[in-house]
Amino acid sequence: MQIKPDLVSLFGLNIQGDFGGMTAYKSARNRFTWFASTTPKVAASIIQQQQRQRWTQAAALWSAMTPNDRNKWAAATAAAHLCISAYNLWMHCVTTWDLDLLATISRKTGITLNLRTSNAPSD
């Protein structure tokens, strides 16, 4: 079911997510789309849970960064002419522990980037 955005924005609402058995989001064509939510038939495996936790921790580390540190990542991303955001570069580096990429970007841009985390990924 699609609802015109004008109707929803008339009330000042930005609707997305799960609501009472329904999932809603705004599509690329600027339409609100609603559909019945589904639940998984099989619980997440231990490996899936560990991977989700890894991404959650990486996002939390980004949020805990100072604005100055985030700005360094943004500046390095722009200086290296990467077609990704600073956040995406951070998520890649911290979830893959790609120290070679980090060193290359730091060397090419002259901006020192650090993975401020105490634990490397386990795999």
If one counts every other C-beta atom within 10 angstroms of the C-beta of residue 13, the result is 10
Q: Does residue 102 register a pLDDT over 70?
A: yes
Q: Does residue 118 register a pLDDT over 90?
A: no
Q: How far apart are CA 14 and CA 25, in angstroms?
A: 9
Contact assessment for residue 73 and residue 66, using Cβ atoms and an 8 Å cutoff: no
More confident residue, 81 or 12: 81
Q: What is the mean pLDDT of residues 108-114?
A: 90
Residue 123: what pLDDT?
A: 44
Residue 120: what pLDDT?
A: 39
Q: Does residue 5 register a pLDDT over 70?
A: no
> Could you tell me which of 24, 20, 23 has the C-alpha nearest to residue 37?
23
**pLDDT by residue (tens digit) across 45-98?**
999 999 999 999 989 999 988 899 899 999 999 999 999 999 999 999 988 888
For 35, counting Cβ atoms within 10 Å of its Cβ (0-12 exposed, 13-18 middle, 19+ buried), the class is exposed
Sign of the alpha-carbon dihedral angle for 41, 47, 49, 54: negative
102-107 — which CB contacts under 8 Å span 24+ positions? 105/76, 105/80, 106/76
Q: How far apart are CA 103 and CA 109, in angstroms?
A: 10
Residue 31: what pLDDT?
A: 76
Residue 106: what pLDDT?
A: 92
